[in-house]
Amino acid sequence: MTTTRRNRYLSGSFAPVTEEVTAHDLPVTGRIPAHLTGRYLRNGPNPLGVEDAAAHIWTLGAGMVHGVRIRDGRAEWYRNRWVRSGSVADRLGEPRRGTPVDERLDVSPNVQVAGLAGRTFALVEGGIRPYELGYELDTVGPCDLGATPEGYSANAHSLFDPHTGELHSLAFLYGSDDIQHIVMDATGTVRRTRTVRVPGNPYMHDFALTEHHVLLFDSPVVFSPAHLATGVPFTWDEGRGARVGVLPRDGGGAVRWFGLAPGLVGHTLNAYETGTGEIVVDVVRHGEGFDIRDVGASRPTLDRWTLGLARGTVREDRLDDRVQEFPRVASLSTGRPYRYGYTAAVELYAAPAGPGDDRPEEGFSNALLKHDLERGTTEAHEFGRYGTVGEGVFVPAESPGAEDDGYVMAYVFAPERAATDLVILSARDFSGAPVARIHLPVRVPLGLHGNWVPDPVTRSAPGVS
């Protein structure tokens, strides 16, 4: 007998939700740190409908932002809202919000959500404009954050440098051999841009900053117009190598390229200059043959590249060989020497094999990882059987005395409730009991990226990652 396997990205921990929910005064186990005042927000694809379930991949679908508002030690509300692009508003039978610059690129951003200068933005990439959201996550409309005359704009992995107050984006356009480095001030106003030619239109999802440089990641994963009809416009080009480019941040000088073993940078943990003529770059790297339709097949690991600027050399090292993704650091460590990094274990477990197998449908592993890069050790916080977890976000303590003096926040599935908790861990006592678990009334599907966005009255850095 032949059985049809369900698409993992439409079932189990990945399965989209079908309703928008508002809940107030959420129950809490433990104690929320009293100084936290703001919102924990996370974006991710949540399709309203799927035409071809067999061909569906995780990164497709309208963006849905999930948020928890915290103040005075209480979890005041939980909300989830679709980002209402024109097509999403039409599908929901609602008036459209604002007017997009280009109807063809009017897509509901589904990768990141961030706060800047008291405003909230849903972000994606590829020249698709951000959408602005209200404080309670209702859609305001498309906006011009980071927009340049050439059609680029702020994107999902814009990086805020807390030491200079600059917001950096490295933006690409589908079908173009040019990328653009966009520098904004802390209000989101574009201050300078630089266009760089990178032939072949590689998929440049992320980048890195150091004190004086921008690091570009070229790879064999390239945009392919021939694959547009499949919904996955990328392919692995066997004849193309991988390399990392070093571009001066001040706009002077050309890119210097360093060759690498074939692979794709999923996301950057951090990068910094050593003071001895080297640049250290820590990334989550996907191996040869990366296919966006199967995020676990390439088994991403945490790797380090050490670039010798004077000698023109590069050394590649493995920091941790566990399958992991979604790296984060303390915001004050961005672009500077640092010790600690945080990732999510993303080993995909299989669907139930048959009667007697009590595993849930497919999802991620149940652990967050803390890497001590000075000692070369890794500590895991496991959330119990089937407690699937995605990206963890570092939030500093009120008056931090050390780099890891703070908390790691993440949405974690609680199988005993068939719903999700917002879990707050102590970064210093990482494997210990959670500081608090905020109990949401519904399940939050596994998603992509988010941020802790402090209210504007606080002095914290903008919640941009």
pLDDT at 251: 79
Checking if the pLDDT of 462 tops 90, the result is no
CA 293, 294, 296: angle at the middle one, nearest 5?
Answer: 155
Ordered structural domains, the chain, with CATH: 8-353+361-454 (2.120.10.30)
Checking if the pLDDT of 358 tops 70, the result is no
Checking if the pLDDT of 233 tops 90, the result is no
The residue-averaged pLDDT of 135-144 equals: 97
Of the two residues 164 and 8, the one the predictor is more confident about is: 164
Mean predicted lDDT score pLDDT of the chain: 90
pLDDT at 151: 92
The residue-averaged pLDDT of 326-355 equals: 84
Percent of the chain at pLDDT above 90? 75
Least confident of 7-16, 194-203, 302-311, 367-376: 7-16
For residue 54 the two structure tokens come to 């067999």
The residue-averaged pLDDT of 334-363 equals: 72
| Collapsed DSSP state (helix, strand, coil) of residue 454 | strand
Instruction: In whole angstroms, give the CA distance from residue 59 to residue 200.
Output: 22
How far from the centroid of its chain's Cα atoms is residue 32's Cα? 24
Of the two residues 328 and 232, the one the predictor is more confident about is: 328
pLDDT at 295: 65
Instruction: In whole angstroms, give the CA distance from residue 270 to residue 107.
Output: 29
Cβ contacts of 62 within 8 Å, gap of 6 or more = 45, 46, 47, 48, 82, 83, 85, 87, 88, 108, 110
pLDDT at 2: 39
In our burial notation (b when 16+ CB lie closer than 10 A, e otherwise), range 84-103 reads bbbebbeeeeeebbbebeee
Of the two residues 104 and 23, the one the predictor is more confident about is: 23
Neighbours of 176 (CB within 10 A): 18
Q: What is the pLDDT of residues 30-78, one digit of tens each?
A: 999 999 999 999 999 999 988 888 888 888 899 999 999 999 999 999 9
Which segments of 354-435 are extended strands (E)?
367-372, 377-382, 393-396, 406-414, 419-426
pLDDT at 77: 98
Cβ contacts of 71 within 8 Å, gap of 6 or more = 36, 37, 38, 455
Checking if the pLDDT of 353 tops 50, the result is no
Of the two residues 291 and 317, the one the predictor is more confident about is: 317
The residue-averaged pLDDT of 9-32 equals: 94
Q: What is the pLDDT of residues 359-412, one digit of tens each?
A: 444 556 789 999 999 999 999 999 988 889 999 999 999 999 999 999 999 999
Instruction: In whole angstroms, give the CA distance from residue 214 to residue 335.
Output: 9
The residue-averaged pLDDT of 342-359 equals: 65
pLDDT at 230: 63
